[in-house]
Homo-oligomer: A and B are copies of this chain.
Amino acid sequence: MSQRTVSTKLRVRYSETDQMGTFYNSRALEWFECGRTELLRTAGVSYREMESRGVMLPIIESHVEYLGRAQYDDELLITGAVSMTGKARVRFEIEIVQAETSKPVARGWTVHAVVSPDGKAIRPPQWFLETLS
């Protein structure tokens, strides 16, 4: 299946560090979300717009490999790809590297269900499948 890819940048916030001096591990999932948000925006329908059209993508699985340190004020480059997996699952692959040196920071993936606002699994609408392909 073809994949859309996109990249976005952010800086590590002081609030995202911990006493080891690198980012706290759960921040990786928050940065993955920044990657997903920019991916969908670039694909043509922002996630916000998707929710307003009645398509929600609650997460059902996440996986992160921690590959290197990232300190306060480091600029990070987030690259991602999205694809359908199975009939009604969306999978995002995300990679985070230091923007300046390309040193790896974290990589992983998340899998999401496709549901209506009341939480019922739905068949992904045609506009949704077209956005992702």
Chain A residues close to B by CB (< 8 Å): 11, 13-15, 17-22, 24-27, 29-30, 33-34, 37, 46-48, 56, 58-66, 71-73, 110
Contacts and interface: CB of A to CB of B under 8 A. Distances in A.
Given A17-B18, A26-B15, A26-B26, A60 B56 contact: no
A30 B59 contact: no
A36 to B, nearest CB: 9
- Identical chains in the assembly: 4
A21 B19 contact: yes
A37 B14 contact: yes
Contacts of A110: 25
A25 B62 contact: yes
28 contacts: A11-B37, A14-B18, A14-B24, A14-B37, A15-B24, A15-B26, A15-B30, A15-B33, A17-B18, A18-B18, A19-B21, A20-B56, A22-B58, A25-B59, A25-B62, A26-B29, A26-B30, A29-B29, A46-B73, A47-B73, A60-B65, A61-B63, A61-B64, A61-B66, A62-B62, A62-B64, A62-B66, A63-B63
Contacts of A22: 58
Given A18-B14, A26-B30, A34-B13, A61 B65 contact: yes
B14 A73 contact: no
B19 A18 contact: yes
